[in-house]
């Protein structure tokens, strides 16, 4: 079999690693890269580590209940420092008597060297949030003294989280970070980055980010470095480093499966050539998107990491470490960045502009930290080429100027060639996929045939759908002809989105809840089955409707890997009825108008109903309301990501 693995393929790769700088250079060279070594850290042991010595004394007196080891080097250092003042075996016996928590495999190895095993482990990859989530599942720290081994810097969020849970926190610092004594290699590398002489940056420690920025500022290079991020790939060894990069305004284009330097560099060598090519197709600047030039397919290109992320796994009902979340109307009027764009263009102009549509899609996903992005568009765009006269009226929503209410009207509805008439959506998807972090899947979408037909017949949103039901019941032939045209257009449209780069698609049946089960089965179900049967195999489809408590079994029969439910039905009860299928939902959007404690309580109530069932995707029961405070949306994302769920 031919080996298509390209390695770095001659790319210039900057490593900021210090302690393992030589090993990093050898690995980069081994995997086909041109290494640029730029050590950015120096470990400075504390000359008199009073905190570590006090910790040892308190532990040996039985005054420490829980010990949290964050790093392997730090674990060894604590044991070494304690043994310099106290009997080593007595200290190890005292440590064995405490509840020992380790973050990742390295502290486990360090403890194993002295014959100890942890009580609780936090698996990789992880951040401080995962540490707290594991403790919530495995260990009640209320009223306990928790000693936290620190390495280089204190983690304020972790310490605050422990205190919020009622723990008395005792910090045990081990080292402090400083710049290297010789910063010349780092300065040389930063100048090369600013001048375009680098392709990939490897960050293997969160503290490296601050030191790179510090030296860049001193050299007057910060602006150039940030601008260079548009064309090169930023690779992070794991979630903690990724958080540090994002908090300081840097993108994160790649993260390995395991936070080990060897795995990191090997996997980066496989992923980075394609990522570099993609980033050079589209240059993203603040408020400015440039149209990329088409590029030939890359030989040996590997699947995007997002295909094995939590959202896609949940679609396939595979085990996940945490419930994924994304939101309908993820980019909307509640978000300042979106309002800034809308202040310059109308809604339809935004939909028709691939660069702007991609910008608001990516901005929303990145600012919120959700597990999936959804392309910015509208379910009625498919009606524009039908010739029904779509317009969005300020303050009133969509309007159809030539509504379809008779057989003669149906005859005038044009068949849609999605590629020629809706290509701007496909272009927006291509731009978005190129700019979006590879770990984030992109969802395409369309309106379901009934919902689109209801707009086309009513001319606007309706309470009773009298024109829609009148055509459906009075002239079944005309109704089926209309839904046939819409179904064919929607099938073509969704498949075009998939070809353009969407990893999943959602079908919105926003108004189907107005129908009885009998009317749905007779007049809608056959068209929905044709739609789902015509979509590209292997791509998850989310089937969502509102007011559908009476239709759930029929919706499942129609098709879809995931059934979306609104807030009018309890998620657990809906799932009991649906059986073996993934389920999306279903917090009432109005909850986001309350406060953070209420949001967390209500979100966790929904999550409790899905606990233990594979395939839960958290979402609202409909879109984010325009008046929602933006900070409340962030609070919801945090609440879902911090929910203490066992792997399901």
Is 530 considered catalytic here? no
Q: Which of 31, 175, 334, 455 is catalytic?
A: 455
pLDDT at 196: 86
pLDDT band at 106 (very low <50, low <70, confident <90, very high): confident
Is 339 considered catalytic here? no
More confident residue, 124 or 164: 164
Q: Which of 342, 529, 568, 600 is catalytic?
A: 342
Query: Would you say residue 324 has pLDDT above 60?
Result: yes
- DSSP one-letter string for 576-624: HHH-SSEEE--B-GGGGGS-HHHHHHHHHHHHHHHTT-TTEEB-BSSPP
Query: CA-based Rg of the chain, rounded to a whole angstrom?
Result: 28
**Mean pLDDT, range 438-452, rounded to an integer:** 96
| Both tokens assigned to 302 | 């590997």
Query: Would you say residue 179 has pLDDT above 90?
Result: no
Cis peptide before 152 (omega within 30 of 0): no
Query: Would you say residue 456 has pLDDT above 60?
Result: yes
Q: How far is 211 from 206, CA to CA, in rounded Å? A: 9
For the chain, domains (ranges, CATH) are 12-41+182-302 (3.40.50.10090), 44-178 (3.40.50.10090), 332-584 (3.20.20.210)
The pLDDT mean for the chain works out to: 89
Say if pTM beats, i.e. exceeds, 0.85. no
Query: Would you say residue 230 has pLDDT above 50?
Result: yes
Query: Would you say residue 120 has pLDDT above 60?
Result: yes
Query: Would you say residue 302 has pLDDT above 50?
Result: yes
Query: Would you say residue 507 has pLDDT above 80?
Result: yes
Give the least confident one: 46-50, 373-377, 583-587, 637-641: 46-50
What are the pLDDT digits (tens) for 542-555?
999 999 999 999 99
What are the pLDDT digits (tens) for 337-389?
999 998 888 898 899 999 999 999 999 999 999 999 999 999 999 999 998 98
pLDDT at 48: 63
Query: Would you say residue 571 has pLDDT above 60?
Result: yes
CA 24 to chain centre: 29
pLDDT band at 282 (very low <50, low <70, confident <90, very high): very low
Query: Would you say residue 300 has pLDDT above 60?
Result: no
Q: Which of 371, 378, 509, 566 is catalytic?
A: 378
Q: Which of 19, 171, 333, 529 is catalytic?
A: 333
Is 378 considered catalytic here? yes
Percent of the chain with pLDDT over 90: 65
Query: Would you say residue 283 has pLDDT above 90?
Result: no
Pick from 256, 253, 193: nearest CA to 224: 193
**Residue 428 and residue 491 in contact, taking contact as beta carbons nearer than 8 Å:** no
Pick from 255, 151, 239, 153: nearest CA to 202: 255
Q: Which residues contact 153 (CB under 8 A, 6 or more apart)?
A: 176, 177, 206, 207
| Both tokens assigned to 378 | 């509208």
pLDDT at 648: 44
**Residue 322 and residue 310 in contact, taking contact as beta carbons nearer than 8 Å:** yes
Query: Would you say residue 1 has pLDDT above 80?
Result: no
Query: Would you say residue 603 has pLDDT above 80?
Result: yes
Q: Which of 76, 329, 433, 530 is catalytic?
A: 329
More confident residue, 519 or 74: 519
Is 329 considered catalytic here? yes
pLDDT band at 281 (very low <50, low <70, confident <90, very high): low
């Amino acid at each position: 079999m031919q080996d298509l693995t390209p390695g770095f393929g001659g790319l210039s790769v900057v490593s900021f690693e210090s302690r393992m700088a030589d090993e990093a250079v050898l690995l980069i060279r081994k995997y086909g890269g041109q290494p640029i070594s730029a050590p950015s850290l120096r470990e400075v042991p504390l000359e008199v580590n009073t905190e570590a010595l006090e910790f040892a004394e308190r532990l040996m007196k039985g005054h420490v209940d829980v010990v949290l080891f964050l790093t392997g080097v730090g674990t060894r250092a604590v044991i070494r420092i304690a043994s310099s003042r106290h009997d080593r075996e007595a200290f190890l016996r005292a440590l064995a008597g405490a509840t020992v928590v380790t973050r990742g495999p390295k502290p486990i190895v360090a403890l194993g060297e002295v014959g100890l095993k942890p009580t609780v482990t936090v698996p990789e990859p992880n951040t401080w949030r995962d540490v707290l989530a594991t403790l919530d599942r495995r260990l009640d720290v209320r009223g306990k003294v928790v000693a936290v081994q620190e390495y280089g810097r204190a983690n304020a969020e972790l310490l605050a989280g422990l205190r919020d849970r009622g723990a008395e926190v005792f910090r045990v610092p081990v080292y402090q970070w400083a710049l290297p004594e010789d910063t010349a290699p780092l300065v040389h590398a930063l100048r090369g980055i600013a001048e375009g002489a680098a392709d990939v940056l490897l960050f293997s420690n969160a503290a490296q980010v601050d030191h790179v920025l510090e030296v860049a500022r001193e050299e007057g290079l910060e602006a150039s470095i940030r601008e260079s991020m548009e064309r090169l790939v930023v690779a992070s060894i794991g979630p903690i480093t990724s958080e540090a990069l994002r908090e300081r305004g840097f993108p994160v284009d790649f993260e390995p499966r395991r936070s080990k330097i060897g795995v990191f560099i090997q996997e980066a060598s496989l992923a980075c050539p394609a990522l570099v090519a993609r980033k050079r197709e589209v240059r993203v600047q603040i408020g400015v998107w440039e149209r990329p030039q088409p590029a030939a397919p890359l030989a040996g290109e590997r699947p995007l990491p997002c295909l094995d992320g939590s959202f896609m796994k949940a679609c396939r009902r595979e085990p996940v470490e945490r419930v994924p979340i994304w939101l309908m109307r993820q980019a909307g009027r509640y978000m300042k960045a979106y309002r800034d764009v809308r202040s310059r263009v109308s809604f339809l102009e935004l939909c028709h502009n691939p660069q702007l549509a991609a910008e608001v899609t990516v901005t929303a996903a990145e600012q919120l930290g959700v597990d999936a992005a959804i392309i910015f568009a509208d379910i009625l765009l498919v009606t524009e080429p039908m010739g029904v006269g779509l317009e969005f009226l300020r303050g009133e929503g969509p309007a159809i100027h030539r509504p379809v209410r008779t057989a003669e009207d149906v005859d005038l509805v044009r068949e849609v060639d999605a590629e020629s008439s809706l290509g701007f959506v496909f272009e927006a998807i291509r731009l978005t996929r190129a700019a979006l972090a590879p770990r984030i899947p992109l969802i395409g979408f369309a309106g379901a045939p009934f919902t689109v037909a209801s707009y086309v017949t009513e001319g606007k949103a309706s309470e009773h759908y009298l024109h829609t039901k009148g055509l459906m019941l009075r002239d079944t032939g005309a109704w089926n002809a209309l839904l046939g045209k819409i179904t064919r257009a929607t099938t073509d449209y969704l498949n075009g989105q998939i070809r353009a780069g969407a990893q999943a698609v959602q079908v919105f049946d926003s108004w189907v809840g107005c129908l009885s089960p009998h009317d749905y089965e007779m007049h809608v179900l056959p068209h929905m089955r044709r739609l789902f049967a015509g979509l590209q195999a292997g791509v998850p489809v989310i089937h969502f409707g509102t007011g559908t408590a009476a239709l759930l079994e029929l919706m499942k029969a129609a098709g879809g890997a995931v059934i979306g439910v609104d807030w009018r039905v309890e998620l657990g009860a809906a799932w009991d009825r649906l059986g073996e299928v993934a389920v999306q939902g279903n917090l009432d959007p109005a909850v986001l108008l309350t406060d953070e404690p209420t949001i967390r309580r209500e979100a966790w109530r929904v999550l409790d109903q899905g606990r233990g069932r594979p395939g839960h995707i958290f979402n609202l029961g409909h879109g984010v309301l325009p008046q929602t405070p933006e900070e409340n949306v962030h609070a919801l994302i945090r609440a879902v990501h911090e929910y203490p769920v066992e792997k399901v």
